[in-house]
Structure 1
Amino acid sequence: MPAGDPPPPIPGARLLFSLDPAVSYLNHGSFGAVPLSVQRVQQRLRDEVEANPLRFYAQGLLDRIIHTRRHLAAFLGADPDGSALVPNTTAGVSIALQSVRLAAGDEVLLTDHAYGAVMLAAKRQCRRAGATARTVTLPLGATEAEVVSRVRDALRPGRTKLLLVDQVTSGTAQVLPVRQIAAAAREHDIPVLVDGAHVPGMLPVEVGEIGADFWVGNLHKWAFAPRGTALLSVAPGWRRRIEPLGVSWEQDAGFPLSVEFQGTVDYTGWLAAPAGLYALRTLGVETVQAHNAALAAYGQRVVGEALGLAPADLLDPGGPGSMRIVPLPIGLATTQAEAQALRLHIAEKLSAETAVNAWGGRGWLRLCAQVYNRPEEYDRLAERLPALLSAFQRQ
Structure 2
Amino acid sequence: MSAGDPQPPEPIPGARLLFSLDPAVAHLNHGSFGSVPIGVQRAQQRLRDETEANPMRFFTQGLVDRIVHTRRHLATFLGADPDGTALIGNATTGAAIVLQSLRLRPGDEIVCTDHGYGAVRLAVERECRRTGAVLRVLPVPLRATDDEIVEIVRTGLRPGRTRLLIVDQITSPTARLLPVREITTAARVHEVPVLIDAAHAPGMLPVDIDAIGADFWVGNLHKWAYAPRGTAVLAVTPAWRQRIEPLVVSWEQESGFPLRVEWQATLDYTAWLAAPVGLYTLRTLGVDRVRAHNAALAAYGQRVVGEALGLQPADLPDPGGPAVAMRLVPLPAGLATTLADATALRLRVAEKLATEVAINAWGGRGWLRLSGQVYNRADEYDRLARRLPALLTELA
Q: Which residue of 2 aligns with 1:162?
A: 164
Secondary structure class of the residue paired with 2:42: helix
Q: Are 1:177 and 2:179 counterparts?
A: yes
Q: Are 1:63 and 2:65 counterparts?
A: yes
Q: Which residue of 1 aligns with 2:188?
A: 186
* Mapping of residues 195-274 of structure 1, within 5 Å: 195-274=197-276
* Mapping of residues 298-317 of structure 1, within 5 Å: 298-317=300-319
Q: Are 1:327 and 2:333 counterparts?
A: no
Read off the aligned partner of 1:310 and give its amino acid letter: Q
CA distance in 2, matches of 1:116, 1:191: 21
Deviation track 1:181-223 (CA, whole Å, cap 9, x = no partner) reads: 0000000100000000000000011000001000000000000
Q: Are 1:344 and 2:347 counterparts?
A: yes
Shift of 1:273: 0.1
CA distance in 2, matches of 1:57, 1:334: 48
Q: Which residue of 2 aligns with 1:363?
A: 366
Read off the aligned partner of 2:278 and give its amino acid letter: G
* Mapping of residues 77-96 of structure 1, within 5 Å: 77-96=79-98
Deviation track 1:277-297 (CA, whole Å, cap 9, x = no partner) reads: 000000011000000000000
Do 1:106 and 1:131's aligned partners in 2 also have CA atoms closer than 8 Å?
yes
Do 2:5 and 2:303's aligned partners in 1 also have CA atoms closer than 8 Å?
no
Q: TM-score, normalised by structure 1?
A: 0.99
Do 1:343 and 1:355's aligned partners in 2 also have CA atoms closer than 8 Å?
yes
Q: Which residue of 2 aligns with 1:389?
A: 392
* Mapping of residues 17-166 of structure 1, within 5 Å: 17-166=19-168
Which range moved further: 96-105 or 21-30?
Answer: 96-105
Deviation track 1:206-258 (CA, whole Å, cap 9, x = no partner) reads: 00000100000000000000000000000000001000000001011111000
Shift of 1:146: 0.4
Secondary structure class of the residue paired with 1:139: coil
Do 1:173 and 1:323's aligned partners in 2 also have CA atoms closer than 8 Å?
yes
Read off the aligned partner of 2:357 and give its amino acid letter: T
Read off the aligned partner of 1:72 and give its amino acid letter: L
Read off the aligned partner of 1:95 and give its amino acid letter: I
CA distance in 2, matches of 1:98, 1:284: 39
Do 1:3 and 1:297's aligned partners in 2 also have CA atoms closer than 8 Å?
no
Deviation track 1:127-183 (CA, whole Å, cap 9, x = no partner) reads: 111000110011011100000000001101111000000000001000000000000
Read off the aligned partner of 1:278 and give its amino acid letter: Y
CA distance in 1, matches of 2:76, 2:142: 33
CA distance in 2, matches of 1:123, 1:54: 40
Do 1:4 and 1:297's aligned partners in 2 also have CA atoms closer than 8 Å?
yes
Read off the aligned partner of 2:363 and give its amino acid letter: G
CA distance in 2, matches of 1:210, 1:3: 33
CA distance in 2, matches of 1:7, 1:342: 29
Secondary structure class of the residue paired with 1:346: helix
CA distance in 2, matches of 1:85, 1:243: 14
Q: TM-score, normalised by structure 2?
A: 0.99
Do 2:226 and 2:282's aligned partners in 1 also have CA atoms closer than 8 Å?
yes
Where does structure 1 lack aligned partners over 5 or more consecutive residues?
A: none
Do 1:162 and 1:191's aligned partners in 2 also have CA atoms closer than 8 Å?
yes
Q: Which residue of 1 aligns with 2:288?
A: 286
Shift of 1:3: 4.7
Do 2:199 and 2:219's aligned partners in 1 also have CA atoms closer than 8 Å?
yes
CA distance in 1, matches of 2:251, 2:187: 36
Deviation track 1:346-389 (CA, whole Å, cap 9, x = no partner) reads: 00000000000000000000000100000000000000000000
Do 1:3 and 1:294's aligned partners in 2 also have CA atoms closer than 8 Å?
no
CA distance in 2, matches of 1:9, 1:239: 43
Shift of 1:100: 1.5
Secondary structure class of the residue paired with 1:110: strand
Deviation track 1:76-129 (CA, whole Å, cap 9, x = no partner) reads: 000000000000000000011111111110000000001000000011111111
Shift of 1:2: 4.5
Deviation track 1:286-334 (CA, whole Å, cap 9, x = no partner) reads: 0000000000000000000000001001111001101000000000000
CA distance in 2, matches of 1:289, 1:133: 35
Number of residue pairs aligned between Structure 1 and Structure 2: 393
Read off the aligned partner of 1:350 and give its amino acid letter: L
CA distance in 2, matches of 1:327, 1:18: 31
Secondary structure class of the residue paired with 2:235: strand
CA distance in 2, matches of 1:285, 1:337: 37
